[in-house]
Structure 1
Amino acid sequence: MPLTPADRPLPPLAPRAWLRYDVVSRIIDRLSPATALEIGCGQGAFGARLATRADYLGVEPDAGSFEVAYERITCLGGTVLNAMSSELDPGTTYDMVCAFEVLEHIDDDKAALAEWVTHVRPGGQLVLSVPAFQERFGPMDKHAGHFRRYSPAELTARLEEAGLGDVDITVYGWPLGYALEAVRNRIDAKKLEKVGDLTPEELTRATGRTFQPSGRVKGAAIAVATSPFMALQRLRTDTGTGLVAVATRRG
């Protein structure tokens, strides 16, 4: 008997992704979108989860990440394209458009947001995540190909300039995010010494494949170990290492 989507195990998440998904999943519960577009879906760990909750389309420009995402998401009823969001039909809109850890990789973030908003139906929502607070910018950010980090005020301003309103931002990651960043900064400082002077665009190409867990046992262990910190971070929604924002396209 073939497996149904409900029978298929969801892809494992890294610790930082679990902290992020704890916030994102509650937003999805509240919004209950019928249709969803994810921009830069990477290897599809979030997309697989969204595909079980909405009519889902993910776009991913990196060919290697796309292949993994395709295998993970299409079996759950979603669709994945090896493409940029700018290649989509501009006349098609979605209840919810998502971009997780994408905006910081784009030099002209204002232009990116303006394009993303065209895919949100009037009254629909844009949901995104970014690393928080420029003063925390370090080797991890540089190795990942980040141009910047954001404060809640800066991200709110960007979203409002793009024609979005009712902006709600959650700071997440306290306290585990600080330890995870410290470890990544040490590891990535050494990696930067080896890769030389690559551009942020060149560094970005591999970021969706970096530190991604594989295997059900390892994934389950990470989920169990991270779960207490998902509860802890809800106590401090103004302190942490990342931001999750939800905003509404003005109708």
Structure 2
Amino acid sequence: MPLPPLTPYARLRWDLASRLVARALPSPGARVLEVGCGQGAVGVRLAQRHHYTGVELDGASVAVARGRAAAAGVEATLVHGPLASIDAAGFDLVCAFEVVEHIDDDAAALAEWVARLRPGGTLLISTPAWPSRFGAMDEAVGHFRRYAPDALAGMLADAGLADVGTRLYGMPLGYALEAVRNRIAARRPDVREEAVADRTARSGRLFQPSTAVQGAVIAAGTWPFRMAQRAFPHQGTGLLAWGSAPAR
């Protein structure tokens, strides 16, 4: 069964994030928690090798994620609700892709995610980069902010993580994708009048491909850009950041 399709942006991100995951979890069978798992496109990929738990506030997205996990034949625990719905801690990897920018108290969120790690475990997150690039789409999907690499690295260090690193991605395709999204959002000023929680819930469903054909076209079309972005670790519109919980 083909893996769930990824959006063009997610394809760019996963090309790099998957390498970081492989470095953090070289052996199969690790315990992985994804905060804000959305429709499960990344979750199914993680569940192929590891014991995967995903938590998501949007019920419609959770339903899609459960169907995708079943279709792919992977075991995944998918929880509809807040992170507090999950009692377990001691995860080898906690990841949150395009989540922290949706949370008003981002420092508290980072502390909560770090608390779920085992000693030596890894936190891996992604977020839109550069506060100066905050635009119409950021408002439309409920973003509170964007991050500069140094600022986000400092927050991870303040949350108690060691060996903190950052990596930009999306050069050059991310700039074009962002411009298109901002133009689309600018035509719907009414959307920004909705509650932030409603905009956030909808954000995980926007621009999502739903068929294997769409996924194959996106994979093929983004391939040269995925290769190109590897040469520009300090440029791009998206930001990956990671750190490890100190061993006790």
Q: Same fold (TM over 0.5)?
A: yes
Match in the other structure for 1:216:
212
Tell me, yes or no, if the aligned pair for 1:73 and 1:79 is still in contact at 8 Å. Answer: no
The alignment status of 1:67 with 2:60, answered yes or no, reads no
**How many residues are aligned here?**
242
Distance 2:229 2:134 in 1: 21
Question: Under a length normalisation based on structure 1, what TM-score does the superposition of the two structures give?
Answer: 0.94
Give the Cα–Cα distance (whole angstroms) in 1 for the partners of residues 82 and 223 of structure 2. Answer: 34
Q: Report the counterpart of residue 15 of structure 1 in structure 2.
A: 8
Contact kept in structure 2, 1:73 and 1:80, CA below 8 Å: no
- What is the rounded CA distance, in whole Å, between the counterparts of 1:190 and 1:95 in structure 2? 43
Identity, in percent, stands at 51
CA positional deviation for 1:224: 0.1
Counterparts of 1:45 and 1:27 in 2: how far apart (Å)?
Answer: 17
In the alignment, structure 2 segments of 5+ residues that lack a partner are: none
What displacement does 1:29 show?
Answer: 1.5
The residue identity in structure 2 corresponding to 1:64 is A
After the TM superposition, which segments of 4 or more aligned residues of structure 1 sit over 3 Å from their partners?
Answer: none
**TM-score w.r.t. structure 2 length?**
0.95
Equivalent in the alignment of 1:104: 101
Give the conservation status (yes or no) of the 8 Å contact 2:167–2:239. yes
Q: 2:123 aligns with which of 122, 126, 136?
A: 126
Which string of whole-angstrom CA distances, capped at 9 and with x for unpartnered residues, describes residues 111-157 of structure 1? 11111111111100000000000000000111110000000111011
Is residue 93 of structure 1 aligned with residue 97 of structure 2? Answer: no
Partner of 1:82: 80
Where does structure 1 lack aligned partners over 5 or more consecutive residues?
A: 1-7
Query: 1:147-226 to 2 correspondence within 5 Å?
Result: 147-191=144-188, 193-195=189-191, 197-226=193-222
- C-alpha spacing 1:166/1:134, structure 2 compared with 1 (3 Å): same
Distance 2:237 2:115 in 1: 29
Q: Which secondary structure does the structure 2 equivalent of 1:240 belong to? A: coil
Query: What do the CA deviations read for 1:195-251 (whole angstroms, capped 9, x no partner)?
Result: 352232221011110000111111101100001100000010000001111100112
Give 2:45's aligned residue.
49
Q: 1:196 to 1:150 in 2, by over 3 A?
A: closer
Q: Which amino acid aligns with 1:209?
A: R
Question: What one-letter code is carried by the residue in structure 1 that aligns with 2:245?
Answer: R
